[in-house]
Structure 1
């Protein structure tokens, strides 16, 4: 069986809702957009680099966002003692992008799906005003800030994903 990245669906963001509902809906919209940018591609296509010297690939973006979900929601907000998935800030800061391997594409997509679910669980029932101390930045941060940052992070990388996908097979949109 030849694996390809799964087809995704993207729910509409409600035009009127409370703040938490909108933040969660926009974050899910961007999560789903990244998945849609990868849909139907083979592992080899997902690991195709954009252009030298860039290390960007669609699979690298999926791995990066799994790492970012884990880091912000689980490690920082929820205080879970979780290890890094693909990179280490001291020894391999770009491992999520540099160490992509087509033979691991399905597993990496499974990790991304699992980390987004675990992120949802980690913040369920927490107030947007809840804070945590970010040790590297040495500042208190709120869950609200994390949601906004994650939306920004996905939006930026979804722009990269647009260009990568267009280079692979000419597909645009979504």
Structure 2
């Protein structure tokens, strides 16, 4: 399966632009892992780092779930990969498959898109307990773009180390 990645709009309103950049970065992460086996997805970067593409996908499922469902939507649900609330657990790819991780990530992305589209404005807020304050949907979308952009840079290096694929 080939991931379709649409460039963000060059002339659009704030919300459409944020949505476009977020979807662009989501598609970039999917592209970086495309066509790899579970073994490749679990391949660790250079020691001592334990970072993997599979861990990044699992982490981004957690990030989507936390910011859109738990913070903006106020859902009282556990993390995807840790009932104890350990955000680092998502990075551990042992015993996980690409199919499982991508299914969870895609499910969380679908929830996030629904929540964002149903929100009447970017000024909608939700409580972020780790920060101890309410945050706007606008901030959440900016934060997710930042989070994906940073981790997509990691994904670039990870993919290059696996099979030499660079770019895009």
Q: TM-score, normalised by structure 2?
A: 0.94
Displacement of 1:101: 3.2
Q: Name the stretch that deviates more: 109-118 or 21-30.
A: 109-118
Distance 1:35 1:59, change over 3 A: same
Q: Is the Cα–Cα contact under 8 Å of residues 62 and 87 in structure 2 kept in the other structure?
A: no
Q: Is the Cα–Cα contact under 8 Å of residues 48 and 57 in structure 1 kept in the other structure?
A: yes
Q: Distance in 2 between matches of 1:113 and 1:139?
A: 28
What are structure 1's unaligned runs of at least 5 residues? 1-5
What are structure 2's unaligned runs of at least 5 residues? none
Q: Are positions 1:74 and 2:54 aligned together?
A: no
Q: TM-score, normalised by structure 1?
A: 0.91
Match of 2:55 in 1: 60
Match of residue 43, structure 2, among 39, 48, 71: 48
Q: Are positions 1:145 and 2:139 aligned together?
A: yes
Q: Is the Cα–Cα contact under 8 Å of residues 23 and 148 in structure 1 kept in the other structure?
A: yes
Write the mapping of 1:1-174 to structure 2, written as runs, cut at 5 A. 6-87=1-82, 92-98=86-92, 100-101=93-94, 104-126=97-119, 127-174=121-168
Partner secondary structure for residue 17 of structure 1: coil
Q: Distance in 1 between matches of 2:67 and 2:166?
A: 30
Aligned length: 167
Q: Distance in 2 between matches of 1:94 and 1:88?
A: 12
Distance 1:103 1:89, change over 3 A: closer
RMSD of aligned alpha carbons: 1.5
Q: Distance in 2 between matches of 1:57 and 1:50?
A: 6
Displacement of 1:86: 1.2
